[in-house]
């Protein structure tokens, strides 16, 4: 197992190199000149040229790429927009994003698995219809609309929770619910279908034939098997939360990395975009590694050596 983890961590290197090249090329081949944007509308051609030299934008592409790599390692990477080290721009944002993603995945897993289990155990009952309808709604509701609805109810009318910004746990509640809603729907559907599949298996009949209480049959015998496919989905959803929370972050003015990337693309802040993408890609790979490790814990048939 340890060997497997090390091997996967080594594999991370080519993945990151690939991501960095793609991100680098995409940005540099896209139209728009950061120097012009930075200099402003009234700047003279000389001003722009000076900025270009200052940030090394006049050098050939591959030199710029290696300067970027060097900057990543020695911390000399500078944000073009904020004119400060890219690390101090990105790191706090990454932590904010992780905080939101973790809270959201907890919400999504808790709501999704419980709804999925109830649905499967009492299929074709009111509970099942309610929960499958909610799951469908959750998956298809636009984040913007759902976020605003919650703000209307809990911030404007009830005044229980803040409508945006960062602070204590109270600030986390609404964004975590909004970001977790569609994942909860996806997880609920997955749990329901895998649970129903497992409840038909012969070993469930065996478990019942031993005289085990149905609580044990469901949680010990069925759920552990049903969670195996669910874990994959949870991993994927968590990955999307790391990178794709822009809308939620915008609605709740949450200073996460998703908004940072979008803003930086607008400003052609190449170093920040590239470094952020690299970090997010690295986290994505680590999450997948975590999922594979979890697999081995849930399913003794899986061995990684």
Partner 1 sequence: MEPLLEVKDLATYFYTDEGIIKALDGISFSINEGEILGLVGETGCGKSVTATSIMGLIPSPPGKIVRGSILFKGKDLLSLSEQQMRRIRGKDIAMIFQDPASSLNPVLRVGFQVAEAIWAHLKTPIREAMLKAVELFGLVNIPDPHTAVNRYPHQLSGGMKQRVMIAMALSLNPKLLIADEPTTALDVSIQAQILSLIKILQRDYGSSVLLISHDLGVISTMAHRVAVMYSGLIVEQGRVEGLFQSPLHPYTQGLLAAIPRVDEDISELAVIEGTLPNPINPPAGCRFHPRCPWAMEICKSKRPAFKAVKPYHEVACYAYAD
Contact positions vs partner 1 (CB under 8 A): 201-203, 205-213, 216, 220-221, 224-225, 298-301
- Cβ proximity of 182 and 238 under 8 Å: no
User: Shortest gap between Cβ of 299 and partner 1 (angstroms)?
Assistant: 6
User: Shortest gap between Cβ of 215 and partner 1 (angstroms)?
Assistant: 11
Nearer to partner 1, 225 or 274 (CB): 225
User: Shortest gap between Cβ of 124 and partner 1 (angstroms)?
Assistant: 8
User: Shortest gap between Cβ of 197 and partner 1 (angstroms)?
Assistant: 13
User: Shortest gap between Cβ of 302 and partner 1 (angstroms)?
Assistant: 10
Distances (CA, A) of 50 to 29, 58, 169, 248, 305: 21, 10, 46, 38, 56
Nearer to partner 1, 54 or 224 (CB): 224
- Cβ proximity of 51 and 269 under 8 Å: no
User: Shortest gap between Cβ of 112 and partner 1 (angstroms)?
Assistant: 21
Nearer to partner 1, 207 or 245 (CB): 207
Closest CA to 90 of 220, 269, 223: 269
Nearer to partner 1, 263 or 292 (CB): 292
Nearer to partner 1, 236 or 298 (CB): 298
Nearer to partner 1, 54 or 210 (CB): 210
Nearer to partner 1, 88 or 206 (CB): 206
User: Shortest gap between Cβ of 200 and partner 1 (angstroms)?
Assistant: 8
CA distance 159 to 154: 6
User: Shortest gap between Cβ of 209 and partner 1 (angstroms)?
Assistant: 5
**146 Cβ contact partners less than 8 Å away, ≥ 6 residues apart:** 178, 181
User: Measured in whole angstroms, how far is the alpha carbon of residue 243 from the centre of its chain?
Assistant: 5
Nearer to partner 1, 61 or 302 (CB): 302
């Amino acid at each position: 197992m340890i060997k497997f983890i090390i091997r996967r961590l080594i594999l991370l290197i080519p993945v990151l190199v690939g991501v960095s090249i793609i991100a680098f090329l995409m940005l540099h081949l896209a139209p728009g000149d950061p120097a012009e944007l930075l200099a402003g509308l009234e700047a003279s051609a000389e001003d722009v040229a000076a900025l270009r030299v200052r940030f090394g934008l006049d050098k050939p592409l591959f030199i710029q790429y290696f300067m970027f790599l060097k900057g990543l390692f020695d911390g000399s990477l500078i944000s073009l927009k904020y004119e400060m080290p890219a690390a101090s721009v990105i790191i706090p944002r990454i932590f904010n994003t992780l905080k939101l993603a973790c809270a959201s995945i907890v919400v999504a897993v808790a709501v999704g698995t419980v709804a999925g289990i109830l649905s499967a155990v009492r299929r074709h009952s009111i509970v099942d219809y309610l929960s499958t309808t909610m799951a469908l709604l959750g998956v298809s509701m636009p984040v913007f609309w759902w976020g605003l609805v919650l703000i209307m109810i809990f911030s404007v009318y009830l005044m229980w929770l803040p409508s945006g910004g960062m602070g204590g746990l109270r600030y986390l509640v609404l964004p975590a619910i909004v970001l977790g809603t569609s994942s909860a729907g996806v997880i609920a559907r997955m749990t329901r279908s895998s649970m129903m599949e497992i409840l038909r298996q012969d070993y469930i009949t065996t478990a019942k034939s031993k005289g085990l209480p149905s609580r044990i049959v469901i949680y010990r015998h069925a759920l552990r098997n049903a969670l195996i496919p669910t874990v994959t989905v949870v991993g994927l959803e968590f990955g999307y939360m790391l990178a794709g929370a822009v809308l939620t972050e915008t609605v709740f003015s949450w200073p996460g990395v998703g908004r940072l990337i979008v803003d930086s693309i607008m400003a052609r802040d190449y170093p920040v975009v590239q470094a952020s993408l690299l970090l997010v890609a690295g986290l994505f790979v680590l999450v997948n590694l975590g999922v594979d490790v979890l697999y081995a814990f849930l399913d003794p048939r899986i061995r990684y050596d």
